Amino acid sequence: MEKIGKRFQGKVAVVTASTQGIGFSIAKRLGFEGASVVISSRNQKNVDKAVETLRASGLQVFGLVCDVSNSQQRKNLIEKTIQKYGKIDVIVSNAAADFSIDSILETEESVLDKSWEINVKASILILQEAAPHLEKGSSVVLVSSIAGYHPQALMAIYGVTKTTLLGLTKALAAEMGPNTRVNCIAPGFVPTNFSDFITKNDEFRKAIEERTLLKRLGTREDMAAAAAFLASEEASFITGETLVIAGGIPSRL
């Protein structure tokens, strides 16, 4: 980390669901590159711990509780960021949930609603709150998944919501340009608390590694590097695109 540049010096970045896993690594990377980072999650204890960890590394970080399905907490996340920093340059919408391993036709309506609410709708509503405060030259990064290209049986509804984010990226890029770029990352399989049920199973893990051209799982740092690139001025002529970071697992032609 010490050798990376300062592409986000003077920038303000908001990252949802960022007290652990991929979201935390993205926030850490943006902070190391000079950003003042606003992190959030549903749990105050997790927020406090993550803030303490990042500040111990010398980063500028501000933590807030935000359940992205809660309208008042979404509003508070943006309002408190503006009160503290006066602007927003980068938003990374990372919050997601996988509520079901049932087949699509056996999934209860309440689960369908919650999956849509967290994985798709919340990104839209956060951006509705934030859009008036985004600086010219700002950047949005949505977090989809390799599962968005090929929804698997154990995570079918999750995969379908992640497919939706690919289209949402295109639509938002058209709507928010030219002042704001909107891109997306599609992580492959990365060991996190969220993916434990897959990556800690030796059989599943070996099968995934065999399908991956680089013969390994991804790391949270791999995902953070890709998100930081898309958010940075180095990607200033890229918008409406999804970057697959999956070690060569087939996604598209």
Instruction: Give residue 100's pLDDT.
Output: 76
pLDDT in tens, 102-119: 889 999 999 999 999 999
Q: Is the pLDDT reported for residue 215 higher than 80? A: yes
Instruction: Give residue 155's pLDDT.
Output: 85
What value does the mean pLDDT of the chain take? 94
Query: How far apart, in whole angstroms, are the C-alpha atoms of residue 160 and residue 166?
Result: 10
147 — pLDDT class (breaks 50, 70, 90): very high
Q: Is the pLDDT reported for residue 153 higher than 90? A: no
Q: Percentage of the chain with pLDDT > 70? A: 96
31 — pLDDT class (breaks 50, 70, 90): very high
Cα 184 to Cα 73, 146, 151, 237, distances in angstroms: 24, 11, 17, 14
Q: Is the pLDDT reported for residue 20 higher than 70? A: yes
CA 75, chain centre distance (Å): 19
What's the longest Cα–Cα distance across the chain? 50
pLDDT in tens, 155-191: 899 999 999 999 999 999 999 999 999 999 999 999 8
User: Is residue 85 annotated as a catalytic residue, yes or no?
Assistant: no
Whose CA is closest to 120, among 89, 146, 139, 145?
145
Please give the span between the terminal C-alpha atoms of the chain, in angstroms, as a whole number. Answer: 33
Whose CA is closest to 93, among 168, 11, 199, 34?
168
Instruction: Give residue 3's pLDDT.
Output: 65
Instruction: Give residue 4's pLDDT.
Output: 74
Instruction: Give residue 194's pLDDT.
Output: 65
State mean pLDDT over 84-96. Answer: 97
Spatial contact of 103 and 153, defined as CB atoms under 8 Å apart:
yes
Whose CA is closest to 181, among 232, 143, 226, 224?
232
Neighbour-count burial of 188, counting CB atoms closer than 10 A to its CB (0-12 exposed, 13-18 middle, 19+ buried): buried
Which residues, other chains included, contact 204 with Cβ-Cβ below 8 Å and sequence gap of 6+? 198
Helices 122-130 and 71-85 sit at what angle, rounded to 10 degrees?
40
Spatial contact of 31 and 54, defined as CB atoms under 8 Å apart:
yes
Neighbour-count burial of 199, counting CB atoms closer than 10 A to its CB (0-12 exposed, 13-18 middle, 19+ buried): middle
Structure tokens at 68: 């992205």
**Which of 85, 149, 158, 189 does the annotation list as catalytic?**
158
